[in-house]
Amino acid sequence: MSDKLDASYRAVADLLEGGRRFLVTGHRNPDGDALGSALGLALALEARGKEALVLMRDRWSAAYAGMPGIDRVAVADALPPDWPAGWDALIAVECPSADRTGWTNQGEGRVANVDHHPGNTLWGTVNLVDLPAAAVGEIVADLLDVLRWPLTPVIATNLWVSLVSDTGSFRYGNTTPKALALGARLVAAGASPGAVNEFLFEAQPLSTLRLEALVLGTLAIHAGGRVATVELPKRFLSESGARDEDTEGLVNRARGVDGVLAAALIREGDGDEIRCSLRSKGDVDVRAVAVRHGGGGHRNAAGCRLAGTIDSVRPLLAADLAAAVAAAKAAP
């Protein structure tokens, strides 16, 4: 760990050690990493006699219903009325820019920005951005080590959800020796992979499967089989009975097609906004595609928003993804 990164860990650790009341939040439409790292940190704070309120701007997929402590996570369209005077800090996990939280007045108080995304804008009062970390849950585990706070079974379980969510159950290219070692440590601390995998991957509501069937019905293959797109018009939600938050992971089904190296889920947003989730394999850099359209993320998992329609965005994204695949193949 570099001296600069070590100092960042120490700065956030000192903030957590010295404070008494904390808000903990993640990005809009929270996923397993945002929820797992936020809950793991909040539970660790409470174990030290501190107050921690986990607050998200949006609901999450039903797949996370089995996470310990998930029922204590609040959903609201504004920060508490006593922010910032009544709180020591807001801890924002996995938010590379301030707008990702969905709050408008967070900058009025002290904010710790804890993230692992390239392109993080260092928007917090205190910034801890550990780019090699496979998941923010890995950063939380390192923070607890700096503080010498123990891993309990419930903390370990939430950090396990974070870790397996962002590494694809240790299948993605960001699976490092450190991530694997942390996984073993979390299991030793009380996380149960079998139990978590059952509620996280094998207990989907029927409505979610119906939505997946509709989305897969739009599957299109481009660039000689190297690029795939799937689509999600708004009507699919009402036709399937699924919720907006149940769309997580659909793009991975397109990426899983044999021979496909890059994929996109193209979905209707509000007005003429089209929301695009991008995924890739190996050295194919979909983050560069997302950044070109004002978005961001990781090399193999990114997102952006474009104006237009599904029909207008599809050929544009397919061409951009095909170019990203070609660039990766041409690289030495």
CA distances from 97 to 37, 160, 234, 303 (A): 17, 25, 27, 13
Per-residue pLDDT band for 203 (boundaries 50, 70, 90) equals confident
Per-residue pLDDT band for 246 (boundaries 50, 70, 90) equals confident
- Are 15 and 126 found together in one domain? yes
- Are 83 and 163 found together in one domain? yes
Return the CATH number at 91: 3.90.1640.10
The pLDDT assigned to 48 comes to 97
pTM of the entire predicted model: 0.86
Domain boundary among 181, 201, 221: 201
- pLDDT for 98 beyond 70: yes
Q: For the segment 76-85, what is each residue's pLDDT rounded down to a tens digit?
A: 999 999 999 9
Q: For the segment 298-309, what is each residue's pLDDT rounded down to a tens digit?
A: 888 899 999 999
Average pLDDT rounded to a whole number, residues 174-185 = 96
The pLDDT assigned to 178 comes to 97
- The share of the chain scoring above pLDDT 90, in percent, equals 86
- Are 88 and 157 found together in one domain? yes
Q: For the segment 133-168, what is each residue's pLDDT rounded down to a tens digit?
A: 999 999 999 999 999 999 999 999 999 999 999 998
Burial of 4 (0-12, 13-18, 19+ CB in 10 A): exposed
The pLDDT assigned to 248 comes to 80
Domain boundary among 201, 235, 254: 201
The pLDDT assigned to 222 comes to 97
- Are 193 and 218 found together in one domain? no
The pLDDT assigned to 205 comes to 86
- Are 52 and 111 found together in one domain? yes
- pLDDT for 25 beyond 90: yes
- pLDDT for 1 beyond 70: no
- Are 99 and 177 found together in one domain? yes
In total, how many domains does the chain have? Answer: 2
* d(C-alpha 130, C-alpha 19), whole Å: 23
3-state helix, strand, coil in the chain (%, to 5): 45, 20, 35
- Are 40 and 124 found together in one domain? yes
The pLDDT assigned to 88 comes to 98
Mean pLDDT, rounded, of the chain: 94
- Are 45 and 170 found together in one domain? yes
Q: Which domain, by its residues, includes 105?
A: 3-201
- Are 78 and 158 found together in one domain? yes
Polymer length of the chain: 332
Return the CATH number at 273: 3.10.310.30
* CA 80 and chain centroid, separation: 24
- The share of the chain scoring above pLDDT 70, in percent, equals 99
- Are 236 and 187 found together in one domain? no
- Are 61 and 17 found together in one domain? yes
In the chain, the DSSP E strands lie at 21-25, 51-56, 74-75, 89-93, 111-115, 126-129, 220-222, 227-232, 262-268, 273-280, 296-297, 301-307
Helix (H, G, I), strand (E, B) or coil at 251: helix
Domain boundary among 201, 225, 250: 201
- Are 156 and 258 found together in one domain? no
Per-residue pLDDT band for 193 (boundaries 50, 70, 90) equals very high
Least confident of 16-25, 182-191, 276-285: 276-285
Q: Are 324 and 286 in contact (CB under 8 A)?
A: yes
- pLDDT for 173 beyond 80: yes
- pLDDT for 259 beyond 90: yes
Per-residue pLDDT band for 332 (boundaries 50, 70, 90) equals low
State both tokens at 194. 């079998």
Average pLDDT rounded to a whole number, residues 269-284 = 92
* d(C-alpha 282, C-alpha 329), whole Å: 10
- 171 or 319: which carries more pLDDT confidence? 319
Per-residue pLDDT band for 331 (boundaries 50, 70, 90) equals low
The pLDDT assigned to 299 comes to 86
